[in-house]
Amino acid sequence: MWQELMVALIVAGALVHFSTKYLPLAWRRRIVYTLGKRGFNETKLARFFKTSGGGGCGSGCSDCAPSTSTSCDSKSTTTSKQRVIKLHVQR
């Protein structure tokens, strides 16, 4: 009985880890949206599932209030540095 319970907990933990790391971004956003509708905190879920913002604001900020939607913190995805790999084709 105890062994089966422990195996079930380990499998549930592995499923949570898999869903936060390897699921496509669209599925993770859908999970955050669905759980947010059920009463869970969308901001914490968005951070846990590594999606941008809570509830799909689109601005990259976790706070969607109208007064702060234009001013995000310095860790916003729109102001982060992006690396570009330049390919030089030699023919």
Q: Which pTM was predicted?
A: 0.49
Is 36 part of any domain?
Answer: yes
Q: Which helix (H) or strand (E) holds 36?
A: helix 25-37
Residue 89 within a domain: no
Sign of CA dihedral 32, 38, 44, 45: negative
C-alpha gyration radius of the chain? 18
Q: What is the per-residue pLDDT for 37?
A: 92
Q: For residue 2, what pLDDT is reported?
A: 92
- Examine residue 24 and state whether it is found in any structural domain, yes or no: yes
Tell me whether residue 39 is in a domain: yes
What are the residue ranges in the chain where pLDDT is below 70? 53-80
How many domains does the chain divide into?
A: 1
Residue 68 lies in a domain: no
Q: Identify whether 18 is part of a domain.
A: yes
Q: Which run of H or E residues covers position 1?
A: none
pLDDT at 34: 92
Give the residue numbers spanning the domain of 26.
Answer: 2-48
**Cα separation, 49 vs 28, whole angstroms:** 6
Distance from the first to the final alpha carbon of the chain: 67
Q: What is the pLDDT of residues 54-75, one digit of tens each?
A: 444 444 444 454 444 444 444 4
